[in-house]
Amino acid sequence: MRKLIYLFSFLLIPFLLNSCGMGSSREISLIPVENGNDYQYIDKEGKIVINPQFAVATAFREGLALVKSSGEKGKWGFINEEGDYIIPANFKEATVFSEELAWVVSENGAPTAIDTKGEIKFTLQDAEQVKIFKEGLAAFSNQGGQNGNEAAADSIGSSNSPTKSGWGFVDTEGKVVISPQFSATGNFSDGLCAVKNEEGKWGYIDKEGKLVIPHQFDNAGIFVDGVAVVDFDGKSGAIDEEGKYLINPQFENMVMDGDMYLIELNDKWGWADSEGKILINPQFDQANLFLENDLAPVLLGDDVGFVDKEGKIKINPQFSGALPFVDGWAMVKSGDKYGIIDEEGKYLVNPMFDGVSDDVITYIVKGESNYESVETDFFNIAPIVSRINLASPEGLTLNSTVGDVVSKLKVSEDKFYAYSTNHTLLNNVRITSDASLNFSVWAVSHVEVPDGWYTKSVFNAAAPVLGFVYTINLSGRGYDKAEQVLAEIEKTIKGLQKDEIESAEQGYIVYKNATQQIYLQTSGNQVILSIFIANQEETGD
């Protein structure tokens, strides 16, 4: 399957096949709609139940809705149907609830599973990304290799902890039950899950991680009642749980729609039965799902109307967009406003809203959510802190000479510049995948000696070191973490007193004692740490 219809604004929006599983109709108690810049919740008669106040709002699931608070620094939390926060909006990222669990990510935190009371169940410290739970299992990816597998074993608490890159699965207690090994996964359904290999082909595994249907498909959907839609060689068909074709790949697109299939053939859309026999001839430029209702929205000319299961027009084309019916009502778009109609095409709520939540559209059309996965925000500062030694930088001291530096760092004298006191000796030394360092030594490394009528600069191994400078360069997940890194390094300073007055005046942190002074500051995504002999000014180029 290459693309599916998301019929609301007459745009073809790509969907991954392996996330499509159209089954029964949906249940929506309250509808999040846009009013100006904020979302509010209304009932199907248009009554405002929860006032406008959210930057993002989702459908209610398991009695809770995931929302994002308004404002430039809005955070994610969960509300009940009265609009009260049951779980405060404190999170940088969050998923919707599924099987009474949701994933949340705090500032600089790893994905954490919480229950509907907001209580923490466990944290996957090493996970890069996680998906919601389905049938008791949640897919997660990790970096693997040398990037913290021992920490992963401790945090996940399983002898079966991740040891390689890829996607695997954890259970509801955080135990790794299928180790990371796949390049991509879907979600479990009917005891099976679509997984992708390194060659880009999809197959299916069971809950023990055993490959039960070999990798062979270009895309693979979830199983619903023992049937899954797959894509092979540019065409869509349907297979059973043994991987046998029930419908040979023959359609350009194919979507489960109850006991039928919405199909695309020759760039037109219609419907087929469970054996692939055409029920409604492909004739529509766009179409959406019946979802076990009697009517489905289709595009006829420039407008959207609704047809029955014989393909007959039941609600005349008059809308600029429409979604499938849910419990006797359907959201429609007229001009640039959104309203609600009944199954006779009469308005229950006149078009008056500026928008409808994308999550609700996804839920109605796919039975899924736009918020089913989160990425970690955890940036491991510990390796940086342990790498930086302010007491003895790179094994040197403020009593060292430049000759000591050459010997200790095994660098050439050519690294020292005759007409500068700032000498960068280590450049872009990797600490982690998101952090590297530069190391500079401050010293007057050369002296002038007679050379006939002139003088020349000669390296002076006995020249004293005046100071050292670490520059930590942050990237990737370390982006915007400079202040946190600085704060952790500051905790390691011993035997020096913070100069509160100078720190306030200069705009950087100053520590002093009788023999040395340390300056700490940030500049964008850099952390700069300078160690100097007491009362020594930073001079030179």
Sign of torsion over alpha carbons 14, 17, 23, 29: negative
Task: Give φ, ψ of 364 to 5 degrees.
Answer: -65, -45
Closest CA to 206 of 172, 164, 167, 169: 169
- Between residues 223 and 15, which one has the greater pLDDT? 223
Position 452 scores a pLDDT of 87
Residue 102 pLDDT greater than 90, yes or no: yes
Rounded Cα–Cα distance for residues 415 and 85 (Å): 60
Position 506 scores a pLDDT of 87
Query: Lowest-confidence range among 194-208, 209-223, 447-461?
Result: 447-461
Average pLDDT, the chain: 90
Rounded Cα–Cα distance for residues 292 and 282 (Å): 19
129, 165 contact by CB (below 8 A): no
The mean pLDDT of 361-377, rounded to a whole number, is 95
Per residue in 186-207, pLDDT (tens digit) is 999 999 999 999 999 999 999 9
Residue 51 pLDDT greater than 70, yes or no: yes
Residue 3 pLDDT greater than 50, yes or no: no
Position 164 scores a pLDDT of 63
Question: For tokens 């000319």, what's the residue?
Answer: 301
Per residue in 393-441, pLDDT (tens digit) is 999 999 999 999 999 999 999 999 999 999 999 999 999 989 999 999 9
Give kind and range of the element (H or E) at residue 63: none
Position 536 scores a pLDDT of 61
Rounded Cα–Cα distance for residues 34 and 361 (Å): 13
| C-alpha distances in Å from residue 181, one per residue of 143, 157, 168, 250, 441 | 11, 19, 6, 32, 45
Residue 150 pLDDT greater than 70, yes or no: no
Of all residues in the chain, the percent with pLDDT exceeding 90 is 85
The mean pLDDT of 329-347, rounded to a whole number, is 96
